[in-house]
Amino acid sequence: MPLFLSSGDVLADRRFDFARELLARGEAAAAAELLLQAVELAPHFASAWFALGEIRADRLDDRPGAIDAWRRARAADPADRHGAGLRLMRLGALELGAMTPAYVTSLFDQYAPRFEAALLGELGYRGPELLCDAVLDVCGAGRPPRFGQVIDLGCGTGLVGRLFRPLAAALVGIDLSAQMLAQARRSGAYARLVRADLVEGLAAESPAGTDLILAADVLIYIRDAAPLLCQAARVLKPGGLLAVTAETHAGDGVALTEGLRFAQSEACLRDELQRAGLEVALLQHASARTEHQAPLPGLVVVATRP
């Protein structure tokens, strides 16, 4: 269910609810009119402005109107918990930039109860398996597949942690979403769970104290990977590994996809890893999930700290 932030006005909230019912029946124009009535009653009603932008963009083919509504949603909620800024970026009305922490937190707090069912059942997600195969491939040349401290970045509900737990003496999970961490805690896979921004979470870890860092579908939510990769290099022991999955595209640099995630070109990711002081040990093109019943272009990378 989409995020809803009450306007504080009962009549405005009721119009919002009725607009959603009309939209579910295919009456987009009528739903848009009700949302306009809602924002007349409550001009700072972020959820109504955001929903109006979606209707204008997706149902009414009104790009200027969608841009206006999403700008108003963003102004009404500077934390941008709905992700209006991302929609504006996709329309070219805002410079490509970072997702707000509040948006990421809201997204995954809502998603947590159905996260695994959606990923595994609907999207054919196999990011953890791709990471595990890649790490074992790199370790196959004389290195035993056993690690001391392993950090699972963006650990979510623990899909990666459950797979890697037999290989780790101590598994640490870091995530921004409290609801995701609650699910991860139930898995019993982690020695320690930390609620934090991923860069800040890594910054709190001891230098050169970690054997393996895992980041399955993490870079897709990060516009600028450099700070994260630099912290990973600081935290890894010499010879330690960083294993990531990423979405990719055929162009240059970083792009915001239709699914409102960031995709990195292969050259861009290689450059970022090199600048962080990490050496690529393995890079494969492989899809971690499907979207619209088609595999999304992806990368699996294992890098080492010299």
Distance CA 269, CA 254 (A): 9
pLDDT tens string for the chain (306 positions)?
Answer: 579 999 999 999 999 999 999 999 999 999 999 999 999 999 999 999 999 999 999 999 999 999 999 999 999 999 999 999 999 999 999 999 999 999 999 999 998 888 888 888 878 899 999 999 999 999 986 556 899 999 999 999 999 999 999 999 999 999 999 999 999 999 999 999 999 999 999 999 999 999 999 999 999 999 999 999 999 999 999 999 999 999 999 999 999 999 999 999 999 999 999 999 999 999 999 999 998 889 999 999 999 999
pTM over 0.85: yes
List, as one string, the DSSP characters of 210-223: EEEEEETT-GGG-S
Contacts of 120 (CB under 8 A, 6+ apart): none
List, as one string, the DSSP characters of 127-195: HHHHHHHHHHHHHTTT--S-EEEEEEET-TTSHHHHHHGGGEEEEEEEES-HHHHHHHHHHT--SEEEE
